[in-house]
Structure 1
Amino acid sequence: MTAPLLSVEGVAKSFTMHLLGGLTLPVVENVRFELHPGECVVLGGPSGVGKSSILRMIYGNYAVDRGSILVRDAVDGQMRDLGAGDPRTVLRLRERSIGYVSQFLRAVPRASALEVVADPLVRLGVPREAASQRAAAMLRRLNLPDALFDLPPATFSGGEKQRVNIARGFLTDHPILLLDEPTASLDAANRDVVVAMIREKLADGVAILGIFHDEPVRAAVATRILDVSAFSARKAA
């Protein structure tokens, strides 16, 4: 087997409820797994068990209480501990190594859909015109009308916003891609498009970690199901 792109070891996470006298709410403990090129590992288990929290820790949105999240740096091939919480490491890994499609698009005010999608490529040094052309092709593949390209996504429907979100996340060549219910607000035709896009990423050796509550999508893309219930701190409490 090829070397892992992601190695999670002994990770624990809890939240402190400051408005409730500092009450500590445990979420997960002893999370451990590896993610290899060409795998689509799906986080399974009931709602509230900690699936989205695991994704957010791996992307650096949430700090970990303990444990390590080792991510292979796409620039020099070294494993770096994102879980240590160093902001420079988090930004470095997001730039080249880890892509993320969240449940909801957080668009820059007044930026057009085309600008939102092209922005990650522009940040990587791709000329703006070339980035815009690639962004437009991706939006057309996701059946977003050309008439919407120059409009801000804040004016779009939920499904249209999510297609912009997916286009932005899939446009780059990050070796690791995190997906948090990407097809939740899509119709059947666009779900099929996203399934095909995921399969293409896997064929290119991208490692995908995702949450899919849509059973047909999960069945179509998963190479392995990881039951997060095994890591539930609340269950153990």
Structure 2
Amino acid sequence: MVTDNPSVVAGAPLLSVVDVSKSFTIHLRGGVRLPVVANVTFDVCSGECLVLGGPSGIGKSSILRMIFGNYAVDTGRILVRDRNTGDVADLASGDPRLVLSLRRDHLGYVSQFLRALPRVSVLDVVAEPLLARGVERKLASNRAAAMLERLNLPSSLFNLPPATFSGGEKQRVNIARGFIIDHPILLLDEPTASLDEANRDVVIGMIREKLAAGTAILGIFHDIPVREAVATKIIDVAAFSTREAA
């Protein structure tokens, strides 16, 4: 992307994962160390949808959680580039303030499951990222409603907490919340797994719009039609999996 800052290199990746490894320590089993992935290395550029492929349990979701800062890394770097200034920050450094700043301004994330506070309405759940950026409440609520309407969630549900919603309804709320901000980088962990065909097609359209706007997307899609519709490149995580090598 061309900017006024000469330090910004055209075509430079917005996300670079460099030699990242991760293991878990099972304290209830005497501190047994369970390696998950090693030497994970790839780039994601503006307008690219890179898909993590491979069977369940191989470490795909763990990679996304490391990039979002939910899991600490054992070794390696996770470099997030500011597409306006060209500045690069290493999320893997573990600085909590840096992680929160990168989430606010650079990293969107749609997980497999909606985690919402009890008694908070759907409209407030979806609008919250906008409110955190200082958007006026009425505007934030209107944008949240428009996003939910696009995902075919009935307006009668907007003022209800999502705890009793169906799996597909919860996932549509999750998607609306993740897509409402124009983050430069978007992480998607099986976003369409609980959706019917009509809503799956809506999400495909939303992903394509993000790509056209220059968003760098890293995703997991076990839904083959979705993967074929949006992927620009697929990486087989088996190449990084220490479980496969065991």
**TM-score grouping bracket, smaller chain normalisation:** over 0.9
Q: 2:26 aligns with which of 17, 20, 44?
A: 17
Tell me the equivalent position of 2:179.
170
1:234, CA displacement in angstroms? 1.8
1:46, CA displacement in angstroms? 1.0
Unaligned runs of 5+ in 1: none
Residue correspondence of structure 1 range 1-237 to structure 2 within 5 A: 2-73=11-82, 76-237=85-246
Q: Distance in 2 between matches of 1:158 and 1:193?
A: 17
Amino acid at match of 2:122: A
Q: How many residues align?
A: 237
1:74, CA displacement in angstroms? 5.5
1:77, CA displacement in angstroms? 3.4
1:111, CA displacement in angstroms? 0.7
Amino acid at match of 1:61: N
- Partner-residue secondary structure (3-state), 1:69: strand
8 Å CA contact retained: 2:13, 2:43: yes
1:76, CA displacement in angstroms? 4.4
Q: 1:89 to 1:76 in 2, by over 3 A?
A: farther
Q: Distance in 1 between matches of 2:84 and 2:34?
A: 37
Deviations 1:38-83 (A, max 9, x none): 0000000111110000000000000000000001136743111101
8 Å CA contact retained: 1:57, 1:64: yes
8 Å CA contact retained: 2:110, 2:189: yes
TM-score of the two chains, using structure 2 as the length reference: 0.94
Amino acid at match of 1:218: R
1:196, CA displacement in angstroms? 0.2
8 Å CA contact retained: 2:185, 2:215: yes
Q: Distance in 2 between matches of 1:95 and 1:196?
A: 24
Q: Distance in 2 between matches of 1:76 and 1:118?
A: 28
Q: Distance in 2 between matches of 1:111 and 1:75?
A: 35
Q: Once superposed, which parts of structure 1, at least 4 consecutive aligned residues long, lie more than 3 Å away?
A: 73-77
Deviations 1:184-216 (A, max 9, x none): 000000000000000000000000000000000
Deviations 1:122-175 (A, max 9, x none): 100110000000000000000000000000011211110100000000000100
Unaligned runs of 5+ in 2: 1-9
Deviates more, 1:67-76 or 1:175-184: 67-76
Q: Distance in 1 between matches of 2:83 and 2:166?
A: 35
Q: Distance in 2 between matches of 1:225 and 1:101?
A: 19
TM-score of the two chains, using structure 1 as the length reference: 0.98
Tell me the equivalent position of 2:5.
none
